[in-house]
A and B are shown apart, each in its own frame.
Chain A
Amino acid sequence: MKDLDFLNRWEEVYLLSILELKDNAYGVTIKQSVSQKTDKTLSYGGLYFMLAQLVKKGLAFKTPGEPTQKRGGRRKYYYTLTENGKKALQDTYLHQKTLWKDITKPISD
């Protein structure tokens, strides 16, 4: 069972958002994307707590961008997936697929 070290759903959504946003994944965009995907209002506090944990787990890393006037002269920090992050997403997807493979009938009846 130890090997079942998959992402939890929130991590999955965050990583997918970062993946999707490619070069433009930073706080504001990630928040929008995740909100969209989950249909929930996110707080910045929650957002950054999650991002920090992703970084600590080695699933993503952040690089500083150029400061812009729009942000009161502050830098953006862009988030990118690490190799581990990509692999984790891959594994989660494959695992999901395998799990659902044999389920042919609709669940609701």
Chain B
Amino acid sequence: MEGYHKAYLGLGRVTMRKKRNSPPKMAVWLLRHLAEPEEILSLMGDVEEDYKGICSQRGRLAARCWVWYQMLISFPSFCKSHIYWSMTMFKNYLKIAFRVIKKHKGYSFINITGLAVGIACCVLILLWVQDELSFDKFHKNHKQLYRTAFNLEGRWTTSSPWALAPILKREYPEILLATRYRNNDLLFTYEDKNFNEETAFVDPDFFDIFTFPWVMGSQDSPFPTMNSIVITERTATKYFGSEDPLGKTLTVNNRTKLAVTGIIKNVPANSTLTFDILAPVKLFGEETLNSWALESSSFILLEKNASPDALGEKIKGITMEYDKRTSKKVLTGINPLSRMHLYSLEGGGNIIYIYIFSTIAVFILLIACINFMNLSTARGSTRAKEVGMRKVVGAQRQHVIKQFYGESLLLSFVSLLIAVGLVYLFLPGFNNLAQKSMKLDLGSNLPVLTGLLGITLFSGMVSGSYPALFLSSFRPANVIKGSHFARSSKSSLRKVLVVTQFSIAIVLIIGTIVTAKQLNFIRNKELGFNRQHVVSLPMNPALRESYESFKNEALSLQSVTHVTSATGRPTRVGNINPVYWEGKGPEQYEVIKFIACDHDYIKTFEMKMAQGRDFSRDYPTDIQNYIVNEEAVKLMGFEDPVGKLFSIWRNEGQIIGVVKNFHSRPLHNTIEPLVLTLAQQNWGPSYVFLRIGPENISQTLDNLEKTWNKFAPNYPFDFLFLDEDFEQLYRTDQRTGTIFKYFAILAIFISCLGIFGLAAFTAEQRTKEIGIRKVLGASISGIVSLISKEFVLLLTLANVIAWPIAFFLMNRMLKSYAYRTGLSAWIFLMAGAMAYFIALLTVSFQAYKAARTDPARSPRYE
């Protein structure tokens, strides 16, 4: 044993010594891997021959050095050679790919279109999401910006007391800057031009908190005097044209003169704060500014490292500390500016749309990818022979894999180009729909660019992977002998994909129907007042003085039936104030929204009284009395509310009547307690409302304008129909509905493209079978149903999967409305039926075509 071992080792030594005479192993190994397989044998032979020659002449060391030197200088050539031959193969792959595209025009069209539409959809949604997320991010310090928020009795509001901001800045060192912000529509006049402008009243800190870029004027002293304003470029051009705007004077409400001291760039579209003109908040006067009325907003700039949570905890009780009149229930907090656009304080907000649309984008892309994959797999069998031939002449599996990945990447890149074209084509329409001004700037928009490339690569790789891995596994002998494998195997995957696709499409259809139904519900909901044929006009100082005579003159017009004025439209009541009533517990603190109006408010809007009486001129004391709604009665817990004492601030009066509940807020929210009071001087109405007859509306408006110009000649006749205003409340919902609809249509379209191609393929595969069946006497309808049967099953399955998912999602969506339609079974059935109808139409078209072919020709097929 021992001896054998030694002998073995010795033998080993001998062989090793012998081997010493051959080139270094390492170099040989490298050579073997670097050189082209074709040339390896002769190349290594040459190297060995040379090596031996040098060995005998100059010794082994020199020879070894020579081999390594050869390796070194050969390396670039090896690389070059490798690239050269790959390019040659690539040319061949490309040629074949184009031939395949050309040969199967229908399939290629379906594939490319489907994917292009999918990608285009995705890009549009990506742009939209990007735009939504960019809101308020253009401020340099946007991460340190916060807005104050208040919790009144569990309800959140962003209105802030006037007096708060200065206190915050003074008392808390981590708050670097603070400003108040109050938005009003005011009439500005310059020479003969007058327009209503969105005016924001702010503290000078505003310009350091927010970084709206300056064009002219000095940022250090934005408001040198109390009567200074800063205006946007757009406003400057509007009033002054090409003149130098600095130092020019604008007149507000035909009274106060304000001098322009600065110009800033237009407020970008992705700013939540919008204004045309900035004016110093001091114009409101000391008394207002020191009050605790919740009539402005406050924004603060926090120190870089300050903890917002800690600050929130500290200022929690600040309102109660300073404002002696409120009870303990007002909590102060702060809310990051970056959340202002997408998140509402109560939770939810626009962010939900980001989620919904991103999901839809992913789904649509998924559907398109599924198509792509399905059709490529289905077509695999037709290319099996090619794969067989390639393998016979020396292709390895990896070459085939590379080829098919390459092909699907080529298709997906063609789709990408078309998609970019589609995006450019549809962006204006989409902008219009989404009320945005998005631009596709591929050069500078890195996220979209990487997104696009990512999507393309992803869809190319995913959809190419199955055919690549599947086809490359074919054994050449089997393929060329023509044994059958295409139909039976792997079609289960295809079925899964079709089911997924249609499930998504059905969910989207259901979503569309439900949103449409909800919008319809809103439109037809009994609001508790009549919003038709009511014209609303903004109140102004001139009109306020001559209001009674204006009212009489307007009423004398034949078609005007009622005239009233109020602080708020019944569709959106803003003012909120603490109230007191007879028998209220001392611990109970309530705020109620109120409308200050004139005597005819209830009549004009055709609201119904539940108890008591309307305001009347026969009772002069009504100026102190109140009408509440049913919800307020419930809140106060009165059995018989009429005659009870009630007060807002300190104006004590009686409840004289109860108005039936009407919807004073969007239908997302429940009806809130509300009180009506007669307008007094300090609560000047901001709107005039006129109920007009349904006939000759334009004639009526003309007459009204004449009357208007008589009483308020310097103010534009900016009328708005109340139902238009109502529609505006639901514009976001409507927009969502429309976008939903388009995406559902797209999803269905792409799914149908897929099923169309697949049906065509099935029919083609079964050409021989169909031919034989026909020869044996099968009818056309029999054959159509034979082919369609498979798809019916798949669709049924898709429905079964889609319904619960849709039910769950729609239920959640509807929950955001306090008043909503139900989810009835017919919606689901209808969506299902629609999917059946469209899909079967597509399939049977193909099936019919197949069934119609002459049976004499088909057996020769395959």
Contacts and interface: CB of A to CB of B under 8 A. Distances in A.
Q: Which of B35, B46, B75, B84 has the most C-beta atoms of chain A within 10 angstroms of its own C-beta?
A: B46
Nearest to A31: B46
B36 interface: yes
B48 A74 contact: yes
A45 B75 contact: yes
A70 interface: yes
Contacts of B38: 52
A71 B45 contact: yes
Contacts of B84: 49, 53
A93 interface: no
A28 interface: yes
A71 B49 contact: yes
B36 A52 contact: yes
B381 to A, nearest CB: 34
A71 B48 contact: yes
Contacts of B39: 48, 51-52
Contact of A43 (B48, B49, B52, B77): B77
B74 A43 contact: yes
A8 to B, nearest CB: 15
Contact of B45 (A31, A49, A76): A76
Interface string B67-84: 000100111111011001
A45 B48 contact: no
Interface in A29-53: 31, 41, 43-46, 48-49, 51-53
A52 B45 contact: no
B50 A28 contact: yes
Name B's interface SS.
helix
A72 to B, nearest CB: 4
Contacts of A14: none
B81 A75 contact: no
Nearest to B39: A48
Interface in B582-607: none
B108 interface: no
Contacts of A74: 41-42, 44-45, 48
A75 B41 contact: yes
A67 B39 CA distance: 15
Given A28-B50, A52-B36, A52-B38, A46 B74 contact: yes
Contact of A75 (B45, B52, B78): B45
Contacts of B75: 45
Given A49-B80, A52-B81, A44 B41 contact: no
B81 A77 contact: no
A76 B74 contact: no
Interface string A46-79: 1011011100000000100000001110111100
A44 B43 contact: yes
Contacts of A52: 36, 38-39, 81
Q: Which of B22, B36, B41, B52 has the most C-beta atoms of chain A within 10 angstroms of its own C-beta?
A: B41
A45 B81 contact: yes
Contact of A45 (B22, B35, B49, B52): B35
B47 interface: yes
Contact of B81 (A27, A49, A72, A76): A49
Given A44-B74, A45-B76, A49-B77, A27 B41 contact: no
A41 B74 CA distance: 11
A70 B52 CA distance: 8
A62 to B, nearest CB: 8
B410 to A, nearest CB: 25
A49 B50 CA distance: 19
Nearest to A72: B48
Given A27-B45, A74-B42, A74-B44, A41 B73 contact: yes
A48 B73 contact: no
Contacts of A51: 39
B282 to A, nearest CB: 83
A45 B42 contact: no
B32 to A, nearest CB: 12
A49 B35 CA distance: 9
Contacts of B52: 70
Contacts of A26: 42, 46
B22 A72 contact: yes
A71 B77 CA distance: 23
Interface in B11-61: 22, 34-36, 38-39, 41-50, 52
A51 to B, nearest CB: 8
A30 B74 CA distance: 16
Contacts of A70: 48-49, 52
Contact of B77 (A27, A41, A45): A45
Given A52-B36, A71-B48, A72-B22, A46 B42 contact: no
A62 B45 CA distance: 15
A26 B44 CA distance: 12
Nearest to B72: A43
Contacts of B46: 26-28, 31, 44, 71
Contacts of A44: 43, 46-47, 70, 74
5 contacts: A26-B46, A43-B73, A71-B45, A74-B41, A74-B42
Given A71-B46, A77-B42, 17 more contacts: A27-B45, A28-B49, A43-B77, A44-B43, A45-B78, A46-B76, A48-B42, A48-B43, A49-B80, A49-B81, A49-B84, A51-B39, A52-B39, A70-B49, A74-B48, A75-B42, A76-B45
